[in-house]
Chain A
Amino acid sequence: MHFASFEFILFLIILVVLYYLIPRKWQWVLLLAASYVFYSFAGVGNFAYILITTITTWLVAIKMDKMRQHQSDYLARMKKEMSREDRKAYKAEIKARQRKWLIACLVVNFGILAVLKYAGYFQISSSLGLVLPLGISFYTFQSMGYLIDVYRGTYESEKNLAKLALFISFFPQLIQGPISRFNQLKETLFAEHTFDSKNISYGLMRILWGFFKKLVIADRLFYAVSTIISSPNEYQGAYILAGMFFYAIELYADFTGGIDIAIGSAQLLGIRLNENFQLPYFSKSIAEYWRRWHITLGTWFKDYLFYPISVSKTMLNLSKKARKTLGDGVAKRLPIYIASIIVWFTTGVWHGSSWNFIVWGLMNCFVILVSQECVPLYNKFHERFPEAGRTGWYRLFQVVRTFWLMSFIRTLDLYPQVGTTFRLYASVFTVWNLPELFQGGLMQLGLTGADYIVLAAAVGLMLFVSLKSRSESFLEKVSSRPIVVRYATYFAIFVFILIFGAYGIGYDSNQFIYSRF
């Protein structure tokens, strides 16, 4: 059952009605049952994996907590008998034991993820009967984030297995995130919720907006993008630029649409999920783009991979050695460079089991690091031309530059063969067929003139809403308008989706792009 389906709408309606009818103390139990029902639609066989992750995470988190508790009790009891050094040594020993449990659990869960993801790469999936379970990348990262937090003592472990199971399997975030933190989500996930018309209307509107982006924009552009990537020999030059442009919009509409539906669905139930996007296409640099795109994955990597690596003992020692031999500049950069390369390599691996994703990750890393190195140059430029940097035109230039740079890098998503992508990059500069594109070429991509008009209107609306949302939520803005204007706006969007949505027979209904990661 994917979000853009009639089954999901029916599922959600039944759930919301039941949710507010049953005693409030049982609401979270209903959510767990509903999440498992939702998950079962993707195949009952998948349950084994999510249950292994849930149970191992629960057991190890409790074990680590018990060790911490035991440590506090012991130290309190032995306060007088132990010296400062003894206490320090004891703490280190407990930490080491906790670390062993943590590593064991990380290995098991990331191991499952790696085996299932890379079985496809090594072409052993079918012989072993392995299928990548729905949402495994997301729930594995979310549960391992929880485990690391418990290890660090950021918060206590959840003793109730069912509650932890709900945190890991909560259906709106299961397919494509956002990746939540336990201490944030538990505040509303396990709370008792009364019916709140504001939550219902905001949630519905958010879901509607998600459907708009997914069905009207993303699923329509899917045809043009699929046509272009299906024939790399035929579609080159200007077609690649068109493909980059279309894919940028498709991916944004698809992913943010899915997240809107996830956040809106949770809001119907009174639960708040973290935002995952902050107008990424308005970013002025790649680094900024990654702070605004898939925010919860970015912060996950930053908190659980980048910082631990960059401030690890090994890195500090390496940095020290480098300072002696290579100087301060290199020593300062080395931990950041190594951590960045590891993070981006892992991000690439997380996205898919093929080389194009790894190159994609490293290319992002390369651009970010080069940009950092260029900062002194930029500064010099701004010192020399102080006015230029402050103009709107310069900011527009930065936004457009970042958009196209990302679009180039993102092309690696589309073609499994890295060589093909680089050949097509070259074609952008060597094959001059822009006139052909506008003299009928665009009409050969599976879209009609009418489709392009609908797309232009829909993308225009999406851009308008994005621009209006920069200062304040667009929903808040619409909500402050008179009731008739409000209803008319909601209804107009609903009718727009109903008529112009690329759903049903005649359209290939597409899964959300990020649900395959």
Chain B
Amino acid sequence: MKKILINITCIVLAVLFLAFLQKLFMPKYMSSIYEGNLIEEYYDSDKDHDVIFIGDCEVFSNVSPIVLWEKYGITSYIRGSAQQLVWQSYYLFEETLKYEKPDVVVFNVLAMKYNEPQKEAYNRLTLDGMKLSKSKIDAIRASMLEEESLITYLFPILRYHSRWSELTWEDFRYLFNKRKVSHNGYLMRSDTKPVTVVPEGRKLPDYSFGENAWYYLDKMTKLARENGIELMLIKSPSIYPYWYEEWDEQIAQYAKENDLLYVNFLPLADQMNIDYSKDTYDGGLHMNLAGAEKFTAYLGKILKENYNLEDRRGDTKLAAVWQDKVEFYEWMKQDQAMEMEKYGYLKSYGAAAQAIIN
């Protein structure tokens, strides 16, 4: 009996210690590559959203759910991360349905250009944050590069053990309690780097989207239909990466065939009042706060007109929840403005994943 008790105690202690180590070694993304937190933050938020955005940086940088709430009373959340691939978006959509059933899902189509997994670092930014579920395992399987293995996603210490020599104070400070960095999945950047040149996209040998990308877009369409959810396709107004006319035609055709609304916002920049010399923080890749607010305001109008979404600002309970979000949003706006004034750049809001990972 005593031996059994010792064995059980030892096993429990060992598992606890390993769990602690795993948590310690996982990157915290608290001083750079904030994108690493986006997927994970969803689980701590309320789960009552009219609209769910899925996609890559063109949604988490360009769409502000706070604006949608303040202007239209639409509740929304962005389930997006850096270079999020179509199949990752699909599985995030599938997983989201376990928590809530939105009226509309908006998918940004830029990721259609990728037919294969691209980089392990991007996979990690999306997949590490997902809670363990069948959707996560399927997403991992669909995303893994040849040198990756499933087990390192299930037990990330097997991937991040090599950080032993890079551990910093941040890893201990945010071991159990990470601070929130996004506004319902929106990553705010209020600095500006204007677009200086708009080069033409280089010629491609083949403009057709890949089989794999279509397969998962089809699955997304089917999943939305089965659940009575409206799927909307958008191309965010980011200038880079280049969005080809041929790509646009394929998406427009697909939307038509499947009775989906597709809006390419690139040609609508003037209507949205977007000024690329002021409204982007990295020369056209992503909108800055001003650009995101303009784009979201316009998008909200389209959502309202096409999907009959109710203005829920009158719901006092919901309004209280969103008031906190608005306050956090306003605080960050001021904080960023203060940093811009003080340092001339955003000292504590880091650079985008692309700049660091590439």
Contacts and interface: CB of A to CB of B under 8 A. Distances in A.
Contacts of B120: 505
Contacts of B274: none
B324 to A, nearest CB: 39
A364 B164 CA distance: 42
A501 B161 contact: yes
27 contacts: A6-B149, A6-B158, A448-B165, A450-B165, A483-B3, A483-B6, A484-B6, A487-B10, A491-B14, A491-B17, A498-B18, A498-B161, A499-B21, A499-B25, A499-B161, A501-B161, A503-B161, A504-B152, A504-B159, A504-B162, A505-B120, A505-B147, A505-B148, A505-B152, A505-B159, A506-B162, A507-B162
Contact of B10 (A6, A484, A499): A484
A505 B120 CA distance: 9
B318 interface: no
Given A6-B149, A491-B14, A498-B21, A504 B6 contact: no
Contacts of A484: 6, 10
A442 to B, nearest CB: 16
B151 A6 contact: yes
B68 interface: no
A396 interface: no
Nearest to B151: A6
Contacts of B165: 448, 450-451
B148 A500 contact: no
B104 interface: no
Contacts of A491: 10, 14, 17
Interface residues of B, number: 21
Interface string A432-473: 000000000000000010110000000000000000000000
Contacts of A451: 165
Contacts of B152: 504-505
B157 interface: yes
Nearest to B2: A483
Nearest to A501: B161
A483 B18 CA distance: 20
A495 interface: yes
Interface of B: 3, 6, 10, 14, 17-18, 21, 25, 120, 147-149, 151-152, 157-159, 161-162, 164-165
Interface string A476-517: 000000011001000100010011110111110000000000
A498 B151 contact: no
B164 A499 contact: yes
B301 to A, nearest CB: 45
B98 to A, nearest CB: 28
A262 to B, nearest CB: 22
Contacts of A503: 158, 161
A456 to B, nearest CB: 14
Contacts of B17: 491, 495
**10 pairs of A and B residues whose beta carbons are closest in the complex:** A450-B165, A487-B10, A506-B162, A6-B151, A499-B161, A499-B164, A491-B14, A6-B149, A483-B6, A504-B159
Contacts of A495: 17-18, 21
Nearest to A450: B165
B164 A500 contact: yes
Contacts of B162: 504, 506-507
Interface in A294-327: none
B22 to A, nearest CB: 10
Given A499-B164, A504-B159, A506-B162, 18 more contacts: A6-B149, A448-B165, A450-B165, A483-B6, A484-B6, A487-B10, A491-B10, A491-B14, A495-B17, A495-B21, A498-B21, A498-B161, A499-B21, A499-B25, A501-B161, A504-B152, A504-B161, A505-B152
A507 B152 CA distance: 14
Given A6-B151, A450-B165, A484-B10, A504 B158 contact: yes
A423 to B, nearest CB: 36
A491 B16 CA distance: 13
Nearest to B162: A506
A499 B17 CA distance: 13
A394 B49 CA distance: 81
A188 B161 CA distance: 39
A504 B120 CA distance: 12
A511 to B, nearest CB: 15
A507 B164 CA distance: 14
Contacts of A483: 3, 6
A498 B157 contact: yes
B17 to A, nearest CB: 8
Count chain B CB atoms within 10 A of each CB in A451, A498, A501 and give the residue with the most.
A498
B254 to A, nearest CB: 35
B18 to A, nearest CB: 8
A205 B111 CA distance: 48
Contacts of B3: 483
Contacts of B148: 505
Contacts of B158: 6, 498, 503-504
Interface in A1-60: 6
A491 B148 CA distance: 26
Contacts of B157: 498
Contacts of B164: 450, 499-500
A450 B158 CA distance: 19
A200 to B, nearest CB: 13
A25 B159 CA distance: 41
A1 to B, nearest CB: 12
A450 B149 CA distance: 27
Contacts of B159: 504-505
A445 to B, nearest CB: 16
Contacts of A500: 161, 164
A501 B152 CA distance: 14
Nearest to A5: B149
Interface in A339-378: none
A6 B17 CA distance: 21
Contacts of B149: 6
Nearest to B150: A6
A346 B268 CA distance: 78
A379 to B, nearest CB: 53
Nearest to A506: B162
B143 to A, nearest CB: 14
B21, B120, B152, B162 — which one has the most chain A CB atoms within 10 A of its CB?
B162
Nearest to B160: A504
A495 B25 CA distance: 13
